[in-house]
Chain A
């Protein structure tokens, strides 16, 4: 169960990061919502404090990797 929650949390963070990459207001809000759901997955595994402490750095790392791998979204994309 831990593995499933962690995988789901990470996938949601990837989705959140991709949504944030889309430069419009709606997708940014949606990104925040997806991030909150991902945080809930981490909280389910590690508890309240540790869950938040893990979700935030994981989101930062996934965001950084997304930026490195995909870069900024251009109009062609």
Chain B
């Protein structure tokens, strides 16, 4: 490739990286955590789910039948059952929905009943607009981070478009990076950790980029698709094929078409259906059910399954009498290789297709994706602040470093704070008010840490304090759980909580160890001159 083209690619790589670096770090770091958020961290965050095995099918059937009699008949058109698996709600939720509303609501209305999965006691009742029910669902630290990763809590469509475009920039940076560093095999193991900091960062950026290129590319592509599909691709497809009618497009490709209600009574055999699904796919987990025209001769039941031998999530279709109809993708029973590829995009992005082993791989590689823009930015700053004629003054270099530590380190700290806060909330605050705490706690702590960057403090010290506080927040989880909660790391049959609490302790210890290393072994190289700065 001509050197002029390489120079252009290098410029594109640099500027795309610089402009999006901090946002990319935010999305990638929260994404790496979000991989573990459902169901593992969500189960950890909700004591109701701690020691839960399979939900008894007969009990679920009994509850559906019992509460169906308590709601007006039109609310039996659509019944959604969210099983307490850690993928949806933390309680067993049965939601009776009427598409056309009722005398009080013109829009979709719902009656919802939520039960404690340990003893099936009714915990919460809801009647109102269906959309409001989903918006007001109880959140927790892992779900909060998961939603933040998806749309940065900017709402939809703005948040989704932004994360979608960040996925595209990640893809562009990965491809241009591969062209720039053509000597891939030569640089595969080049990591000189005993050299100056700028050499270490340079090498780390290259090896993370080269080794992780395939992963970064896939995450960038799938992330762009997930962010932009419903906002841009769906309207575009509707415009091309359905004269702009999105509803028509959705109706054409929906996996769960509305059945015609005959008004002939026939009991819907949910118990048999649940048992049959478990027998057919013993390794998979049923996460929710949709029952259409319940107790009608034309009733249809759809079960969403995740895990097992299938890479993508699958939808099982049963007739109301318990007869199995078919297994299909979540997009419906559409033939063709394009749908097969499309359905693989989701598990490839979420890493949820083969249990905890894959999730850990995804989380670690995701962290390397998050570190790439950060190391790239450090290289860019170092390059401009060294040599006989630097374009970046020493003061500007320090300000840049502080702003990176404030924004990126602040995000890590704010995220770490959410977990001990979750333990405190679980034990000291009524469940109904939990939702009000996570947003302010996360954003105000992050904002406060960002504002500290304005002060002319030594950025080494700033980094060290950030890491120490993050470590302390992580390490606080286990003792807090032990002191306050009845279901803690040392309770019997509580393997997941034990693993998560000990992991937090280990990660916290690691943060504190690294922050101590920063003191005993001050950063050298290009940053050495920058240490001669105004210190408060």
Contact = CB atoms under 8 A, between A and B. Distances in A.
Interface string B167-196: 000000000000000000000111111000
A63 B190 contact: no
Interface residues of B, number: 26
A44 interface: no
A17 to B, nearest CB: 9
Interface in A33-49: 46-47, 49
Interface string B321-360: 0000000000000000000000010001000011001100
Contact of B368 (A46, A47, A64, A73): A64
A27 interface: no
Contact of A58 (B207, B344, B361): B361
Given A54-B354, A72-B191, A67 B207 contact: yes
A46 B354 contact: yes
A20 interface: yes
A9 to B, nearest CB: 10
B189 A60 contact: no
A71 B192 contact: yes
B358 A71 contact: no
A52 B440 CA distance: 43
B275 interface: no
Contact of A71 (B191, B215, B348): B191
Interface in A46-69: 46-47, 49-50, 53-54, 56-58, 60-61, 63-64, 66-68
Given A61-B364, A64-B207, A68-B207, A54 B357 contact: yes
Interface string B270-309: 0000000000000000000000000000000000000001
Contacts of B362: 57
B211 A71 contact: no
Nearest to A6: B357
A70 interface: yes
A61 B365 contact: yes
A49 B188 contact: no
A60 B354 contact: no
B358 A63 contact: no
A50 B311 contact: yes
B212 interface: yes
Contacts of B204: 68
A50 B193 CA distance: 35
Contact of B365 (A21, A60, A72): A60
A15 to B, nearest CB: 15
Contact of B361 (A50, A57, A68, A73): A57
A67 B211 contact: yes
Contact of A53 (B190, B353, B368): B353
A70 B189 contact: yes
B191 A67 contact: yes
Contacts of B526: none
A54 B365 CA distance: 12
Interface in B357-387: 357-358, 361-362, 364-365, 368
15 contacts: A21-B189, A50-B309, A50-B311, A50-B353, A53-B358, A54-B361, A57-B214, A57-B215, A57-B358, A58-B361, A60-B211, A64-B207, A71-B193, A72-B192, A73-B189
Interface of A: 6, 20-21, 46-47, 49-50, 53-54, 56-58, 60-61, 63-64, 66-68, 70-73
